[in-house]
Structure 1
């Protein structure tokens, strides 16, 4: 090992309470943290609500030296660094938004060979450059490079839903620092992706220094539902507003002190996320909801940093008028808000993994939450064209993998024969899959689900017309 590690008598419960202000560990967190403190390589696959970040943050506080955290998303890095610094942990990030003064401080800190920084969040692109690699080599020589953490590790695999070319180059860590422990974390890895992650970093149970932790994808507190519609009917909006007002009316009726009519006007305290595809729809949908007295705000890449930061902060703080975020799919990674009561997919996501990850941002506090997806065959065709059109031409992604993931998501949406929770667990390779306790549309009303699908989807005549017009030419796998 590069360093003398924390001794076995370290009180991790005390560190949890003192540094992270948490009373107890979630299931499996303790075992993962102890494995990391013992110097093992670790692979963690766990649902969005699991609390994966604590599994490397707490060991970084206890162990001497520096932990390098590779992450693909700036919002995730910035959110976690802010939370750590509020907990009085010296955490920093190097990315395109880092100020020159902060950048200079970090470089000088690393150049000492004995940095004060405990966690440094970086992009995979930065890790590809010689300048940063030389800094890491110095830290290793001084026995200060404690651990390499790869977050969103599924990005390594060309069979993953979000492959990034520079993630492949992270194999340099194991090649250059064979005695430095590596921790890989992901929420969305099927068997093929999981094997790619393990082989890239040389993680092998046969070597005796590797621990794998794979928890179930089952989220029993989430109610999963697919709502069938047609673009011609354009009925998503009325359906959603009716549902939301019904939720609020029930809450108000349960509170004897609440005035029902005033509650209808405010429609507060039902935090949620609506995911859609385009920035224009983010804006128009949020504006329409505000017109109906619902506190909704858009969130997308073209907004100013100030607007995004203010919107996010006020939404997390549950301020009136900031109840719902209407966002493109990049929103939400690493956002620490436990009381999101619903997640709505206004449009079909581009992948099964994307759907699962986004829906999983609901109910992180373990309380009942609602996830539904509006599905139309027009939407299916539109998204399929988009995936085909946007498939990388430079070899930086696997077109077949993307098509297969979307195909499996479509099959999930159109399946009226079984539990939604079971289908998700099977997709991620679980052999012993649970059924939910009436927490999906199939369990709640299997016959009604079939009727709703037949009523809601576009007619077969419409589909036939689309075939004749060549709409299916680029994705013949739909006919398999």
Structure 2
């Protein structure tokens, strides 16, 4: 059932230019925003570069009343609120750091009957408090609760990679706000069919009138590649030096190709008039904080004009914020730096470098070890090439590494590791969470072990893209979806051929089998640390 509140015609293009300072919508944004303004329940699954927040922010500006935004991360809320304030949009947030005096002013405004605030950001835990629920009921009774937007909606599902129990309590919105009906917008970057079904069911979205929107999970401009690496038991230090040299050689080849293209494009220009090239930006995801610190240090000392910084939850908040600010710029070089620009600007990070991190100019994302979840694989690799230009995603893989990651996945499930400190998981939830984590990691294994299928096709299948595309085609005049998507040699299998990928994988398996027969590594904590420190790039 669609909200029957009368809607005035609005010029969303004018609002986009005048308020948000943008000249045009990205593909599909116009359709999503129109559905939101028309009062539909909306499900939007789109990549991190899509601009999902605009899809509820612009309607909030042109519509009467308050839009409630539920967001899981304080840093994400603070960043969005600051951006909206810069646009001159009345916005507020209530969270654990909000002073009591400011909180009272916010509540007074939204209960006034004519609130100035258009968007109110809160955490799911705050939505569970009785006091806030009473206030929401009063706003609704006054006809001032315009819409509920639920960001990172996959957190509601125990089958999701980042389950947060407080999200399940958000079903209260649909159970409570029925007359008039308050429409709900659910947004996420990654959700498997199981997770999507949970989102729709638990939030009570109206399947008869809701609108589905989706962008491909596998980004066509990203070249997906799996590097099969061996584990060696010879002289550890000399082997590490050789592997690290291979890493630098790979980066050198990237730099030389770039300079060659630049020289050929501007062969007739004097050298001193050619534009100064910004550094090539990349992310290296690692499993441990200590590895992030150590690898960043070694890259900086390599003499290759590389500027690398470590990013993880162990850093002071001020340092993390400074790194994020520099990283968000097109030229991520600190203003105090003297001398020529570095050839590379690399963040060596744990998965703490995640939601809310925005740099459209990342050219490569490298996973030093297989990601712990399929959703993490898609989200983290999707931080490359957000400007639409060619980018690379590389995963380093062998079966010893696979087993180590699997142990960490199981440990997370057994301890009931969750981002929510207010509502601990029950025994049943822990069991579901364990099953979901292992199922998700099994998809990562299947992705990495495959040697005869397009990587784009695998991502598309595991994400359930075909199902969503079918739903979208049924509500529009879009052509019927096809079971395959064009790769155009944008993955290692399609570029090099199945036989070559299978050969590399076979070599890795033989080396690993020899080590297992010798009993290597299994009792050596030192070797495990050294392996994580300097796992190398395999040459073509």
Please indicate, yes or no, whether the TM-score normalized by the shorter chain is above 0.5.
yes
Q: After TM superposition, give the deviation of residue 468 of structure 1 in Å.
A: 13
Moved more, 226-235 or 302-311: 226-235
Moved more, 320-329 or 77-86: 320-329
Give TM-score scaled by structure 2 length.
0.80
Match of 2:505 in 1: 453
Q: After TM superposition, give the deviation of residue 93 of structure 1 in Å.
A: 2.4
> Residue 283 of structure 1 is aligned with which of 281, 288, 293?
293
Q: After TM superposition, give the deviation of residue 335 of structure 1 in Å.
A: 2.6
The residue correspondences of 1:12-91 to structure 2 (distance < 5 A) are 12-91=12-91
Partner Cα distance (1:82, 1:242) in 2: 41
> Residue 251 of structure 1 is aligned with which of 258, 279, 288?
258
Partner SS state of residue 326, structure 1: strand
Match of 1:302 in 2: 314
Partner SS state of residue 323, structure 1: strand
| Contact 1:69-1:148 within 8 A present in 2 as well | yes
Partner SS state of residue 362, structure 2: coil
Q: After TM superposition, give the deviation of residue 2 of structure 1 in Å.
A: 8.0
Q: Judging changes above 3 Å, is the alpha-carbon distance between structure 1 residues 135 and 417 closer, same or farther for their aligned structure 2 residues?
A: same
Q: Judging changes above 3 Å, is the alpha-carbon distance between structure 1 residues 6 and 418 closer, same or farther for their aligned structure 2 residues?
A: same
| Structure 1 position 340 matched with structure 2 position 355 | no
Q: Judging changes above 3 Å, is the alpha-carbon distance between structure 1 residues 377 and 146 closer, same or farther for their aligned structure 2 residues?
A: same
Match of 2:461 in 1: 426
Partner SS state of residue 255, structure 1: helix
Match of 2:451 in 1: 416
Partner Cα distance (2:101, 2:160) in 1: 36
> Residue 316 of structure 1 is aligned with which of 314, 323, 328?
328
The structure with the larger Rg is 2
Q: After TM superposition, give the deviation of residue 459 of structure 1 in Å.
A: 1.9
Partner SS state of residue 146, structure 2: strand
Partner SS state of residue 112, structure 1: coil
Moved more, 11-20 or 446-455: 446-455
- Which residues of structure 2 form unaligned runs of 5+? 233-238, 335-343, 417-424, 467-482, 524-540
Q: Judging changes above 3 Å, is the alpha-carbon distance between structure 1 residues 16 and 255 closer, same or farther for their aligned structure 2 residues?
A: same
Partner Cα distance (1:55, 1:452) in 2: 44
| Contact 2:3-2:182 within 8 A present in 1 as well | yes
Q: After TM superposition, give the deviation of residue 154 of structure 1 in Å.
A: 0.9
Match of 1:191 in 2: 193
Moved more, 235-244 or 197-206: 235-244
Partner SS state of residue 89, structure 2: coil
Partner SS state of residue 374, structure 1: strand
Partner SS state of residue 303, structure 1: coil
Partner SS state of residue 357, structure 2: coil
Q: Judging changes above 3 Å, is the alpha-carbon distance between structure 1 residues 254 and 199 closer, same or farther for their aligned structure 2 residues?
A: same
Match of 2:381 in 1: 359
> Residue 182 of structure 2 is aligned with which of 156, 180, 183?
180
Match of 2:419 in 1: none
| Contact 1:419-1:435 within 8 A present in 2 as well | no
Moved more, 388-397 or 142-151: 388-397
Partner Cα distance (2:58, 2:100) in 1: 29
| Contact 2:95-2:122 within 8 A present in 1 as well | yes
| Contact 1:267-1:294 within 8 A present in 2 as well | no
Q: After TM superposition, give the deviation of residue 225 of structure 1 in Å.
A: 0.6
Partner SS state of residue 347, structure 2: strand
- Which residues of structure 1 form unaligned runs of 5+? 471-480
Partner Cα distance (2:455, 2:219) in 1: 11
| Contact 2:35-2:42 within 8 A present in 1 as well | yes
Moved more, 189-198 or 293-302: 293-302
Partner Cα distance (1:252, 1:468) in 2: 41
| Contact 2:4-2:39 within 8 A present in 1 as well | no
| Contact 2:84-2:91 within 8 A present in 1 as well | yes
Q: Judging changes above 3 Å, is the alpha-carbon distance between structure 1 residues 436 and 309 closer, same or farther for their aligned structure 2 residues?
A: same
| Contact 1:223-1:370 within 8 A present in 2 as well | yes
Partner Cα distance (1:89, 1:6) in 2: 20
Q: After TM superposition, give the deviation of residue 181 of structure 1 in Å.
A: 0.5
| Contact 1:341-1:370 within 8 A present in 2 as well | yes
Q: Judging changes above 3 Å, is the alpha-carbon distance between structure 1 residues 342 and 14 closer, same or farther for their aligned structure 2 residues?
A: same
Partner Cα distance (2:376, 2:495) in 1: 25
Partner Cα distance (1:65, 1:48) in 2: 28
Partner SS state of residue 458, structure 2: helix
| Contact 2:3-2:40 within 8 A present in 1 as well | no
Partner Cα distance (1:177, 1:465) in 2: 65
Moved more, 62-71 or 110-119: 110-119
Aligned residues: 464
Match of 2:247 in 1: 240
Partner Cα distance (2:26, 2:386) in 1: 12
Partner SS state of residue 366, structure 2: strand
| Contact 1:5-1:64 within 8 A present in 2 as well | no
Match of 1:115 in 2: 115
RMSD (Å), alpha carbons: 2.8
Partner Cα distance (1:469, 1:327) in 2: 26
